[in-house]
Amino acid sequence: MIVEILGAKMLAPYVGTSHFVWTAQIAVTLMALAAGYYAGGKLVDRELRLGRIYWAILGAAVYLGLSVLLVKPVANFCLNFDLEIGSLLSSVFLFFAPLALLAMVGPFFVRMLTDSVLNMGANVGRLIAVSTLGSFVGTILIGYVLIPFLPNSVTMYLTSCALLAVAAGYFFGWGRTSTSPAAVTGMVVIGVMIGGLGAAQDRPINTKTWTEAYRANSNFGRLQVLSASNETRRLYLYLDDFLDQDSYDPVVKKSVAGFTYMLHDLARGYNTNIHDVLCLGLGVGIVPMQFAREGAHVDAVEINPAVLPLAEKFFDFDPARVHVTIDDARHFLNGATSKYDAIILDAFVGDSSPSHLFSREAFAAMRRVLRPGGVLVINCFGDLDPGKDFFAASLDKTLRAEFRNVTIHGTGMGLGNMYCAASDGPDMPLHTMPPLTDVIEFCRNDVEHARAITLTTDAAHGIVLTDDYNPVEYYDATNRESLRKQLAQWMTVR
């Protein structure tokens, strides 16, 4: 279970965390288990030599250490294929062999524990129970302890070392008389060196352009802050699993990302009477802080608590001025009783927005907590080109199923940010927005164009998304794959 879950986390920066990735990882795990069970059963029936299974454990340990070294080149190579094929190939290359080797353990131990038919049921039952309990412990350990507090490379290295220790314990203990100490020692040393080299390669970024100022693992990806400076500007760049999430100039205390201005400005433009704001997704706190500085009461819902310390340290977020709730946005909305003049939906998991926040039921929950005349403003990625516009068309269609007025802003030039504004009022005129002089010069032109341009989708190309049927990840896979490839190329040349 540790290898299955951790493997998906290691691949996430390159192929994302869509259902394709998890489907591939689970499918490869099941096929590896099937192959291992079969091979282990055939091998133990041929000759009952327990040392063979510890050689398999030793081989799996070395391979897992090697996977830390190989994950980047393998994942980058597999990006040349479609997401479905690429994620499957990545999982096969990196994790099929060690998982199959580890699966061989079960048949060996069943045979070792079964001396007669009389006690076979009890022995097999105990073995399966212990194995399942071990899987439970491993799942809890990886999900609640290892991933949040250790780099993925270190966790995989420690897993490899634990397996090396198990194998070495047998070969230098119980099975020492039938095994060459030199061969075992050589394999253990190779495994330790390979895993250590892989973990050591996962070092902080330090180039002529960027210096890594912050790094932390979390349940929702690796968080990094890169710092860059020259004669005219200092810049902080926030990455989540290598994906650019926001950028900020700490000298002038302004965002260098156009979407932060668009979220604030569209809310102000479509509702001139904003006193209470709900931000679904904190980001690094730039948008919530802008409303708070203007005197609004701001509630922010953020699912990842690991974001808060970096937002405060690098992006001038002040937790005393914004009430932050650590929660999933849908869970928060289901129990919300407060009313808001504006809701800002800017939630992302990697390269895409969580699909459960883009269903008709989710928008109904948001509409319920909006005051009359209140406005919902959404930041998301979309493409209006035919054949790539399922998400954009479906989002527009779903919003219109719940709100009387919907307007979409953006440049409309291929895949990029789309800003949806929705209200249940009788009309939704766009009033005067904050002056463009408030926008940092670097992205002023982009903001000006996105403000001025409204987009129209083809309703025939989309559906009303519901909790029961929301196939966005499937039909939007091409767009998400494109974003991931851009990301991988950026990280390669950084």
How many other CB atoms are found less than 10 A from the CB of residue 19?
12
For residue 181, name the pLDDT band (cuts at 50, 70, 90). Answer: low
**Same-domain check for residues 264 and 344:** yes
Q: How many CA atoms lie within 13 A of 40 on its CB side?
A: 27
Q: Quick check: is 237 in a domain?
A: no
Q: Specify the pLDDT at position 307.
A: 94
Q: Is 342 helix (H, G, I), strand (E, B) or coil?
A: strand
| Domain boundaries, position 12 | 2-201
pLDDT above 90 covers what percent of the chain?
A: 47
For residues 302, 303, 305, 307, the Cα torsion angle rounded to the nearest 10 degrees is -60
Domain match, 35 and 167 both: yes
CB 239 within 8 A of CB 245: yes
The secondary structure of residue 4, as a DSSP letter, is H
Least confident stretch, 10-14, 189-193, 259-263, 342-346: 189-193
Lowest mean pLDDT: which of 183-187, 253-257, 398-402, 452-456? Answer: 183-187
Residues 429, 393 contacting (CB under 8 angstroms): no
| pLDDT bucket at 308, cuts 50 / 70 / 90 | very high
DSSP states along 361-405: HHHHHHHHHEEEEEEEEEEEEE--STTS-HHHHHHHHHHHHH-SE
Query: Mean pLDDT, the chain, as a whole number?
Result: 85
Are residues 368 and 453 both part of a single domain? yes
Query: Do residue 185 and residue 322 come from a single domain?
Result: no
More confident residue, 394 or 138: 394
pTM of the model: 0.81
pLDDT at 200: 56
Residue 219 lies in a domain: no
Residue count of the chain: 494
Most confident range (mean pLDDT) of 422-426, 475-479, 489-493 is 422-426
Task: Clarify whether residues 15 and 88 are in a common domain.
Answer: yes
The answer, yes or no, to whether residue 99 has pLDDT greater than 90, is yes
What is the predicted pLDDT for the residue at 378?
97
Average pLDDT over residues 225-251: 84
Distance, in Å, from the CA atom of 451 to the CA atom of 418, rounded to the nearest integer, reads 11
CATH number at residue 271: 3.40.50.150
For 487, list phi and psi in degrees, rounded to 5. -65, -45
Residues 195, 292: one domain?
no
Q: Return d(Cα 199, Cα 313) in angstroms, integer.
A: 27
Q: In angstroms, rounded to a whole number, what is the distance separating the alpha carbons of residues 187 and 164?
A: 9
Q: Containing H/E element for 335?
A: helix 329-335
Rounded to whole angstroms, the Cα distance separating 187 from 155 reads: 20
Has residue 156 got a pLDDT over 70? yes
What pLDDT band is residue 444 in, cutting at 50, 70 and 90? Answer: very high
Tell me how many domains the chain contains.
Answer: 2
